[in-house]
Structure 1
């Protein structure tokens, strides 16, 4: 079993200090150094627009200032476990989500307004009135449930997710993570477990079990970033251990972990690097793979 040494951890901390965005440096300090969560909350709030949505490259590949559903998801991940249920930031983004939902109750993958902003080439809307999508409605709804938020948007969005999950066919990696993040947190635990059992074979195949699989793939520890997650049951101990070993090995000489997807502009290299380095450190910590 491979662990991240104290020297390697210090290198990761230095990488974040040199290259990561302020918000990710503060998230690291909160997660590992005991810094107050209020600092993270304040940094995330700087990405919130007056309309309640989130933009300004909080999702690094969406460079524009305009609010997008994916920006809301990233913001909610950043304040997960920090913001209170009545946090005004959360209630304002719920108002924004409600204003941009379809009749089905969910939000699209990306809004047509993205065409006015600088963005990665894959961020293309599905027409002038794009349909709602599990990505990102499901993780947004799940995170709001986890926060205990009470807002009129959440009920219809939850029902949209149940319906979409019930009708889904082949499951790709991003949809798998969205579904799992919803099932992990939605209050109806009996229904969540039933859907997990029904879909578990498809959810498992969404991960690249081979640690040498090329391209933009997602590993078992991407789906199950902590031992207590629902997705952990999809994989054997040996599979998880193998991918944790590879995660330790994959640290770069500069101390960070690099994305396995296209870097379409130099600006995003370290923005994603900081975000993903923190995510990898949190996973290694959750599985007891960081030397103390």
Structure 2
């Protein structure tokens, strides 16, 4: 299976994701991945240039910071100067309540997917504030942005009664990684049924479905969201959802041809990471630079 996925990545993925695959699965260079990622970072510390494939512009946006941080997380590279620079950028676009918007009005300067729309003065949003804050907590990063952002997340989460798939994924990341475990578990207990309501439990569901492995792409640290049986059933089905080329492609709108390739490479690598995180790929995951991923 991995050989077919590798071919798919070689044929479809952008350079950044090909280098990530080489580093994570083939003994390649971590530093080359970091060099490629730096090309997406602007002088203001934010990220752009289609690092999030559906945002094609050159102006920094909050969501590509989350994409960058997930890549830095898989490389265990939160000591890289890109992190502090990105946090400085986040300070510059944070709203009065401590969160960063889902998308800034500068999105209108370049082509973008139709769901990236906003008012001129957008409010803070759990997407992507909660995921970014959670990853910073996980890696013990200290920065002036994190305290207000954490308070924003707690306040916004406390107001949730019903949720959406993407908001739920951000909330799970925050609650699973934030320092205050007792408070996180209490909020999770309150929200668990609302979160499960937006999950597609049928691994073969079609359309824009959101599956358990989207919410738990690796075993969660402290949250008990799905049973072992549910995770196993979706892991069993995951290889069956590949394309005939051997990779995985998005189940949401492809609004311009290039994003199918860019998302396909990114998601194929994400699925391989998930299979490995749950012990479905051998050998067991070890970074080529000598650090275990466990």
Q: Shared fold by TM > 0.5?
A: yes
Correspondence for 1:69 among 46, 59, 62: 62
Match in the other structure for 1:275 = 266
Match in the other structure for 1:103 = 96
In 2: Cα distance, 1:146 partner to 1:154 partner: 12
The Cα offsets for residues 112-146 of structure 1, whole Å up to 9 and x where unpaired, read as: 00011111111101x11101000000001111122
User: Which runs of no fewer than 5 residues in structure 1 stay unpaired?
Assistant: 1-7
Range with bigger deviation, 25-34 or 137-146: 25-34
CA contact (8 A) 1:27 1:40 kept: yes
In 2: Cα distance, 1:12 partner to 1:86 partner: 30
Correspondence for 1:221 among 213, 218, 223: 213
CA contact (8 A) 1:81 1:147 kept: no
CA contact (8 A) 2:54 2:259 kept: yes
In 1: Cα distance, 2:135 partner to 2:219 partner: 19
3-state SS of paired residue (2:73): coil
CA contact (8 A) 2:203 2:234 kept: yes
TM-score scaled by length of structure 1? 0.93
CA distance 1:53–1:290, change in 2 (3 Å): same
Match in the other structure for 2:287 = none
Match in the other structure for 2:292 = none
Match in the other structure for 1:4 = none
Correspondence for 1:242 among 233, 238, 247: 233
Please report how far the alpha carbon of residue 238 of structure 1 lies from its aligned counterpart in structure 2 after TM superposition: 2.5
CA contact (8 A) 1:44 1:79 kept: no
Runs of 4+ in 1 over 6 A off after TM superposition: none
Which residues in structure 2 correspond to 1:42-121 (within 5 Å)?
42-82=35-75, 84-121=77-114
In 1: Cα distance, 2:192 partner to 2:203 partner: 20
CA distance 1:229–1:220, change in 2 (3 Å): farther
User: Which runs of no fewer than 5 residues in structure 2 stay unpaired?
Assistant: 284-294
Q: Report whether the alignment pairs 1:134 with 2:126.
A: yes
